[in-house]
Amino acid sequence: MDFNKIIGHQRVIDNLKKAIEQDQISHSYLFEGEESIGKKLVALAFSKTLLCKEEGGDPCNKCTSCLKFDTFSHPDFLMIEPEKGLIKVEKIYDLIKDLNIAPLESKRKVIIIDDSHRMRMESQNALLKTLEEPPSYINIILISSQANSLIPTILSRCQLVKFYPVVREDIEELLMTRYDKSLEEARFISHFTKGSVGRAISLSNSQEFFQKREELIGIIDSIIKGNSHRIFSSMDFFLDNKDNYEDILDIILYWFRDLIIYKELGESRLIVNMDKIPLLSSHSFLSLSHINDIIESIVGTKENIERNVNYQLAMETMLLSIQEV
């Protein structure tokens, strides 16, 4: 792992390299941004560079430190991750004890706490003392997609490094060159995952996701064309995918977003479902006002489910709104 293998986040990487080269490294960082966007990859590359015996802006990938880091056997590196959705307070107490022991092989000890917002208040307060008075050889990197869940005193002790979604063109190129996706497939995935490289890679390797997409588009097609029976006969599909309702609703949302673009512009590179142009064309008889009503219904359905409204009822109501012509 090194910076050269990371897609996007070039400004963040350049700033971290500059901090290393100018010896202006903070004792505590907070890498904040959406899930699966690349924060952990950058944190790992940064940690490896900090521990590298060559002490440059990039890891040499040859020294004993780099080799040990690559096998997660470096004695001066520790990564703490949640277990069952929680970072246990015992792990933080063990970490605090370990920080008082000088590095064994390097000039530094580097600690990554992934999903740091999974620490409970007791854990955060315990960690705060270390952040306030860190040993000179310590570098701690907190990673979070929900930084507002961390107490303000922790936030004030960390240098914030903000991560933004990776541009779609970079994700498309990655998926086409490394994962053998067609332009249409890569374009759909890059739009659907909203700049998340990790999620884009995961979906590109998931046949199940694309099978669900095909089945879902088939359901929508039947309903639009007047098959009211399909609303209720398809409910097993929606119940089976209840845990992934956000993906299901996003697929539907992108379909009707594309339909508006198709009606306004015809075939356009702005369309996400480029591989479905003929089917989109067959749905273009729907009025713009009705399509907008459907989109509002989809958004409202997502909000209702988040508020614990009955899931099946919410889905049935949304599907009925699609059929109302």
Q: Long-range contacts made by residues 186-192, C-beta under 8 angstroms, separation at least 24?
A: 187/269, 187/272, 187/274, 188/272, 188/273, 188/274, 188/275, 191/254, 191/272, 192/250, 192/251, 192/254, 192/272
**Short-list 82, 77, 159, 90, CA closest to 122:** 90
Q: Where in the chain is the domain with CATH 1.20.272.10?
A: 206-323
From the CA atom positions of the chain, what is the Rg in Å? 24
Determine phi and psi for 236, rounding to 5 degrees.
-60, -40
Alpha carbon 267 to chain centroid, angstroms: 30
Tokens of 239: 């119940």
CB 193 within 8 A of CB 7: no
Alpha carbon 78 to chain centroid, angstroms: 23
Q: Which fold has domain 3-162?
A: Rossmann fold (3.40.50)
Whole-model pTM above 0.85?
A: no
Q: What is the pLDDT along the chain (325 residues), one digit of tens a residue?
A: 788 888 889 999 999 999 999 989 999 999 999 888 899 999 999 999 999 999 888 999 999 999 999 999 999 999 999 998 899 989 999 998 888 889 999 999 999 999 999 999 999 988 988 888 888 899 999 999 999 999 999 999 999 999 999 988 899 999 999 898 888 888 889 888 888 888 899 888 888 888 999 999 999 999 998 887 888 888 999 999 999 898 999 999 999 999 999 988 877 778 888 888 899 999 999 999 999 999 999 999 999 998 888 999 999 999 988 886 5
Q: Where in the chain is the domain with CATH 3.40.50.300?
A: 3-162
Residue 206 DSSP class: -
Q: Which fold has domain 206-323?
A: Zinc Finger, Delta Prime; domain 3 (1.20.272)
